């Protein structure tokens, strides 16, 4: 069944265009409510980030759920991983987050979690999609859902985050800059680190509905870097607008991306004998991560791009650690989904346990230069079926040997092939990427 509403991470779009209109969100709330009501549980948690359209969609979503006979428990501004955690602890039928994650304020979306705090199963999404084609009906007035507010939601999640940091240990003497992207964690992130004893300089913590992810947070780490250097801080922590991505900055002002964070956490767990199996990255994970893990005899597997696919592969392999270069870090030994605050605490715990700086911890992995080029095509084609393209890729791989790789990724939304080449020598990588892109363009353009 083709999907009309759900993508790889829920429903998302520009506010005012389908499916992110009040009418469609109301209908989605109703459709989800009808599916969930059939499963016997009639309570759903609703959280949101700080974008202005959250007010609009919160009301529409609650109305749709109510018309299906589902009770809504409103959490207010709350990070996506917090909604996943609270859905599990409340034993709710589902959790819904009104957020477009790292996108600008004029986008919004809906992310769904099942009762166990994990991504909604595919079959449930398909049931909701099918229900969207049915006429909206309203249950009898006596059966309408009610709405209530969870006043202690933030405190519950803060205590959970703190519980993932080693018992008896604190962050005293550590100076942190925390950039919350003017998003859902604008107050919570600061409080977690402060309550554990750190001195916190909070930035990106003044949301106005329009400035979420604007030149700050995990998608714009130069803001964090500048503040770390200005404040002479020990470390910087940047989240995205809904709090599930993490990018860090060391005391030298060097950015530490998701691949490097994944390496640090893998080494920490490996050294402690707490890493079952291996690590899952994506097709875009840096080759330097793979080689660094190989040096420790840690197995590495690549999933398709998207934290949903990382999570699926982790579950399939019964592994616990995975993530993306963008900063989605999944620690299944701590929680059920990507969580920036929890991941940051794991890095800080290893810093304290090892006595090393973040700069020293990341030095065990060398990031290989990576060049990405988009090659426009006149139409969508099967790139794997073209002999000239296969020949160009084969020649490039021959030049790179075991010290590099070539990846061609057709866009799923436009006639474009993304050509990525990485290797040890920046000039070679750039030259080879241009050669492959030229060959692809000549063969398929």
Which residues form the catalytic set?
A: 101
| DSSP, residue by residue, 226-281 | HHHHHHT-SEEEEE-TTS-BEEEEETTS-EE-HHHHHHHHHHHHHHTT---S-EEE
Q: How many CA atoms lie within 13 A of 212 on its CB side?
A: 29
Where are the strands (E) in 284-395, listed by range?
A: 300-303, 321-323, 329-331, 370-376
Cis amide linkage into residue 304, ω under 30° from 0: no
The span from the CA of 267 to the CA of 308, in Å, is 24
Which residues are paired to 178 by β-bridges?
A: 202, 237
Find out whether 33 and 64 touch, Cβ atoms under 8 Å. Answer: yes
Q: What angle do CA 125, 127, 130 make, to 5 degrees?
A: 110
CA distances in angstroms from 189 to 94, 96, 309, 344, listed in the order given: 24, 21, 27, 10
Whole-angstrom Cα distance, residue 438 to residue 15? 38
CA pair distance 292, 285, nearest whole angstrom: 12
| DSSP conformational letter for 297 | T
Provide the 3-class DSSP secondary structure of residue 75.
Answer: strand
Query: Quick one: tokens of 412?
Result: 């799923």
DSSP 3-18: -SS-BTTBEEEETTST
Strand order in the sheet with 300-303: 300-303, 279-282, 321-323, 329-331
């Amino acid at each position: 069944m083709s999907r009309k509403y759900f993508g790889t991470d829920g429903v998302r779009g520009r506010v005012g265009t389908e499916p992110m209109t009040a009418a469609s969100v109301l209908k989605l709330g109703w459709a989800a409510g009808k599916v969930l009501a059939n499963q016997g549980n009639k309570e759903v948690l609703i959280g949101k980030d700080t974008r202005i359209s959250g007010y609009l969609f919160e009301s529409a979503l609650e109305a749709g759920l109510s018309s299906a006979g589902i009770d809504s428990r409103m959490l207010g501004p709350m990070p996506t991983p917090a909604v996943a955690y609270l859905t599990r602890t409340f034993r709710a039928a589902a959790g819904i987050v009104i957020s477009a994650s790292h996108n600008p304020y004029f986008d919004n979306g809906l992310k769904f979690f099942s009762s166990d705090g994990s991504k909604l199963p595919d079959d449930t999404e398909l049931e909701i999609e099918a229900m969207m084609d049915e006429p909206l009906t309203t249950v009898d007035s006596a059966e309408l859902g009610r709405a209530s507010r969870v006043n202690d939601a933030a405190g519950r999640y803060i205590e959970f985050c703190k519980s993932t940091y080693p018992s008896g240990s604190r962050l005293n003497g550590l100076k942190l800059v925390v950039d919350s992207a003017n998003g859902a964690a604008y107050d919570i992130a600061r409080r977690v680190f402060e309550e554990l004893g750190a001195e916190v300089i909070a930035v990106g913590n003044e949301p106005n509905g329009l400035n979420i992810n604007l030149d700050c947070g995990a998608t714009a780490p130069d803001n964090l870097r500048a503040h770390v250097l200005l404040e002479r801080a020990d470390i910087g922590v940047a989240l995205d607008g809904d709090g599930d991505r993490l990018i860090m900055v060391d005391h030298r002002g060097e950015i530490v991306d998701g691949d490097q964070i994944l390496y640090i956490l893998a080494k920490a767990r490996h050294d402690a004998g707490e890493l079952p199996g291996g690590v899952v990255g994506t097709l875009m994970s840096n080759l330097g991560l793979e080689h660094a893990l190989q040096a420790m005899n840690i197995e590495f597997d690549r999933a398709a791009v998207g934290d949903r696919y990382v999570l699926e592969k982790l579950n399939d392999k019964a592994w616990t650690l995975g993530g993306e270069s963008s900063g989605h870090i999944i620690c299944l030994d701590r929680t059920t989904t990507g969580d920036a605050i929890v991941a940051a605490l794991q890095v800080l715990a290893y810093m304290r346990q090892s006595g090393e700086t973040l700069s020293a911890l990341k030095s065990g992995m060398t990031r290989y230069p990576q060049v990405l080029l988009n090659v426009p095509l006149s139409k969508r084609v099967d790139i794997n079926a073209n002999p000239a393209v296969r020949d160009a890729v084969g020649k490039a791989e021959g030049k790179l040997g075991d010290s590099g790789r070539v990846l061609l990724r057709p866009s799923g939304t436009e006639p474009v092939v993304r050509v990525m080449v990485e290797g040890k020598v920046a000039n070679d990588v750039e030259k080879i990427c241009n050669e492959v892109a030229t060959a692809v363009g000549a063969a398929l353009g």
